[in-house]
Amino acid sequence: MADKKAQLIIEGAAPIDLPVYSGTMGPDVVDVRGLTGEGVFTFDPGFMATSSCESKITYIDGDKGILLHRGYPIDQLAEKSDFLETCYLLLKGELPSAEEKTKFDNTIKNHTMVHEQLKNFFNGFRRDAHPMAIMCGVVGALSAFYHDSLDINDPHHREISAVRLIAKMPTLAAMVYKYSMGQPMMYPRNDLSYSENFLHMMFNTPCDEKKISPVLAKAMDRIFVLHADHEQNASTSTVRLAGSSGANPFACIAAGIAALWGPAHGGANEAVLRMLDEIGDVSNIEKFVAKAKDKDDPFKLMGFGHRVYKNFDPRAKVMKQTCDEVLAELGINDPQLELAMKLEEIARNDPYFKERNLYPNVDFYSGIILKAIGIPTEMFTVIFATGRTPGWIAHWNEMISGPYKIGRPRQLYTGSEQRDYPSK
């Protein structure tokens, strides 16, 4: 039952009563589904004022800088949890017991290998292909290798697919990198943690297997945690829309990867490093800060402020701490990283940025961390996709588990009226 009603008045027509629902947190929503029967529907480009679904997974309050996964604040999860526990939380709704955590971790570790024939797919791509182009292809192709669990109406099949996707994404990501480098692909190791295993497959070779730094592994794990889910963003909404057609989970996640590839979404941390390249040197910072303040200048400081968070990005504080730890561990003397730290210092203290809440966001720090670890810029969005996979799966599974309809947005048609084909 709706808690209250809204009334829509259209000139010349009778008032239309619309139910209003309240969630556990956040603003009320007006149920406009009945408008179609009245011969009208809403117009909302970008779905900025539209709730596309009901969900229990993630809550965001951008004005207050709040991000909750199943009710738990993201900074607490990043500090006290790890990625696989966060995956369990997103998928199951509750934190695991010690026994459940051990079982889940072992299950993921036992599914990290991919079918050997999948390697053949890589030979069809150019070595200089963008990693996200390859990821779209190979993740979608997983359904051709693991077609024993594609019944989306079977909860057990959905669970197996979820495990396979979370387990195999870092393996595929590392394979993409190794292929571009012309190096042999490394098999996963079950004795390593999720993030250690990823760094092992990325940077080790058969003739030189080095121990993974605990500091770097922790940093990688936090990056995955901080990207695990972010409510109904473009890629998550894409996964849900694809899933509403009944598509298999591998195809839906591939669709999410394609949406994430867009520079306005998953490519933000790449844009940070491109901006640093454009600035070039510490001596140029003041000039570019002035350009950023000039409303008539197209230059923008990438990695500052956020479309959703109007106060501060709750993920950024943890990411800054991690950034400091990584740079201290590696002792890197990189002019670009020095430039980034100087830019951060200026922006955090400049009244112009403080008044507008243009604080460094998660993309600013994650780009610096990934560069410091040695991950090339074109791999950044692949890392994002690996971290976001459990969120995508959780939303897909939530939708499939209950009643749903195939997504079918409407449009405001402004083209030609009906006309006849001209006679010859």
Known catalytic residues are 265, 306, 363
Structural contact between residues 75 and 318, judged by C-beta atoms closer than 8 angstroms: yes
Structural contact between residues 397 and 340, judged by C-beta atoms closer than 8 angstroms: no
Please name the residues in contact with 80: beta carbons below 8 A apart, sequence gap of 6 or more: none
Structural contact between residues 261 and 136, judged by C-beta atoms closer than 8 angstroms: yes
Structural contact between residues 53 and 232, judged by C-beta atoms closer than 8 angstroms: yes
For residue 88, give both structure tokens.
């369990």
Separation of alpha carbons 107 and 84, rounded Å: 11
Q: Where are the beta strands (DSSP E) in 40-87?
A: 58-61, 66-69, 72-73
- What phi and psi, each to the nearest 5 degrees, are found at residue 305? 75, 175
> Which SS3 state, helix, strand or coil, does residue 264 take?
coil
End-to-end CA distance of the chain: 60
Structural contact between residues 115 and 145, judged by C-beta atoms closer than 8 angstroms: yes
For residue 352, give both structure tokens.
């112009």
For residue 237, give both structure tokens.
């909404």
- What phi and psi, each to the nearest 5 degrees, are found at residue 10? -110, 130
> Which SS3 state, helix, strand or coil, does residue 207 take?
coil
